[in-house]
Every structure is written in C-alpha cells, then in structure tokens.
Structure 1
C-alpha cells in the first residue's frame, strides 16, 4: 500500500473496551490529559482532546500506557505493555506532516484491531501542530498518528483530530526537516524513546 499526501497511511487496527472509555470520558471532565513525546530529536508535548473525541484518546492513551492489549508483530501474541516506546517516525514530508506509531516501522503495521473514526466539528487540521490519526480508509484507525507541519484542510472529515502540540513545536519542525529517502522515510531514524501520558496537569 502506497500513501499520498491526500491519503495518510495506517494499516493500524484497534479496539477499545467500553469500560475504559467511560472511565476516561468521566475523568476528562475533571482533568486535562497530555502526551509527552520524548524523541531522539528532543521533546514535545500535546494536549489530548478527550472531552471531544473520547474513544480515540482512550485508545491512544491505552496503547501508550500498556493498558490495552495489542498484537506483537514479532510473536503474534497479545501483550499489555507500552506500545509506542522505541518506535520511529517512519514517514516525514516537509511542510506537510510527520507520521509515527507503526510497530513495524513501515507504515503498514498496527496493534491488531481497529476503532471507528470520531469527528468533532470544532476540531480541524487548521494549522501546524495538530495531532491526528492516520488511516487507510474510513474506520481503520489503530496506532498510527501524525502531527501537521502546516494547515491541511483537505484532511478534515477524513482523519480524526485528537490533540494539539502545546510545547516543543521547534522539535516537531526539526523532525519535519530531516533528510528522507524512499517512501519519505528519514535516512537517520527519529525514535520515540518514550511516550508518557500526563493526567491532571
């Protein structure tokens, strides 16, 4: 599968337990949730919109914290451990977006299950720093995500926006400027050393 600028990629497949979603949705009314990306290029932080797209955020947080079981592509077995630590940004297009979250590092992998699209009319790909789900078509969201490097309005209604970078945009821009090769893959891997979730900050 080859992806274009107008069709962001994800072979990702994901499912979220109803109980987990209700718990996160209820807690979001009391506290905000953030994702801290510690990468080989530096750290950036994104606020997650769990009040507007609770299912998507619950899936992302569950994978990040290892509370949702996912299929390890190396063993084929389901595991519960932090999903994103050690993964790379496998696709970078200058001025457009940086994409990560594939366990195989190819753009074709995911957690082994899927969740539906979740759109809120107030959330748009209107500027740089928007955190959104990559997919391979309607209702195929899983683990892959991207961060915009500028306005990408053609993605509205096609990709679920679930967060926004609130600090470290210079790091995001630095990743967006790395040298890339075939399939827009960085020549020198940009690694997510740790993806930490902060609750109530």
Structure 2
C-alpha cells in the first residue's frame, strides 16, 4: 500500500483546530495537534471531510466525497483504558466475514512520534495500529494514563470537553472482543477553530 497524498488542512477561522465528535452518547471535543502531528491530523481531517480517497473495505468502492467517520461505531471499549473507533467496516453489520476492528481506509501511513506527545492521562487521542507504519483510520481516546503506548501509537489530539462522555462510552455493557452490546455511533465530526477552550 502506498502512502496517500494528504489534502491540506482547510478549516476556516482563527485559533486552534478542534473536532467535535457527535456521538449517540453525547459530544466530545478534541484539540488537534496540527503543528506537532501534521500528517496524522491531515489524515483525520481528510477522512472526516471526505476529501481524501478512501476505500470501503466491504463494498470495495471509493468513498471520496463521503465523510468516512459519519456512522462508524465505537467497536471496542475498555473501562479505565480506552474507547476505539474509526473502522469503516462498522458501517456494515458485523458478521463472520465482516469483523469490526479489522478494517481501514485502503492505505497506511507512517507514525509521528514528537517526544512531547505522550499518553499521559485521560482524554489522549491516538492512532490505533497493527505495528509500525500501519496507521489508517482507526483511533482511540484514553481513559487514563497509558505510558506503555508511547512511541508505539501516534498521539494527535487531546479531549478539552466531554471527558464524561468518554467515560460513559467506556462503561457501556460489552461482550466478546470488548464490543458494546448496543451500538455507540459516531454520527458526525464537526471541524472548527477556536482561540478559546470550547465546550461540548
């Protein structure tokens, strides 16, 4: 898989870049570190806006022009650890042939490990992967310190509002593979800039 050309981060306004994650459990606002993790943030923004060419792993069709994160499920939640999302397979019904947590956008890209970005507490936004250089579309938000993930997963943001929603999602009833028993859906991602700390 070749690394894609990431589109420029085109979010109008002034101040720091943020994303408001509208979920069926409430809203979470994250500040995105576009200066410290530019490639990872450009990937997230491109998938959120549909400006990057991604491929649906089930239909095999291009999703360019369609925001990839709209309608994906939080497919793995572990209390005290993290909540995970971003698999386009979760837009389709789970089955033996469609295992949530195994999908991606049809490409991979390299890690970004600036030394100052660490998994130092609750609310850290970081990329899920299956080894070095295997970032795609899946990401997670921590519910506590996870220093063992430093320099293994690329941190690219931090929750600034809605940490209670992260906790709520992490504690929903779950079954095999830490999959929630009832769907927790990321309905849409709202990108904006703000000089002040926004609210959820």
RMSD over aligned CA atoms reads 1.9
1:15 aligns with 2:15: no
Q: By how many angstroms is 1:83 displaced? A: 0.4
Secondary structure class of the residue paired with 2:89: coil
Q: By how many angstroms is 1:77 displaced? A: 1.8
1:91 aligns with 2:76: yes
**TM (normalized to structure 2)?**
0.87
Q: Is the 8 A contact 2:56 2:89 kept in 1?
A: no
How many residues are paired up?
184
Structure 1 distance, partners of 2:45, 2:2, is: 12
Q: By how many angstroms is 1:14 displaced? A: 8.0
Structure 2 distance, partners of 1:184, 1:111, is: 22
Extract unaligned runs of 5+ from structure 2.
91-99, 196-200
The equivalences for 1:24-173 within 5 A come to 24=9, 31-80=15-64, 81-105=66-90, 106-173=100-167
Structure 2 distance, partners of 1:82, 1:167, is: 23
Secondary structure class of the residue paired with 1:104: helix
Q: By how many angstroms is 1:158 displaced? A: 0.0
Secondary structure class of the residue paired with 2:83: strand
Secondary structure class of the residue paired with 1:117: coil
Q: By how many angstroms is 1:73 displaced? A: 2.4
Q: Mean alpha-carbon deviation: is it higher for 143-152 or for 77-86?
A: 77-86
Extract unaligned runs of 5+ from structure 1.
1-12
**TM (normalized to structure 1)?**
0.86
Q: Is the 8 A contact 1:16 1:59 kept in 2?
A: no
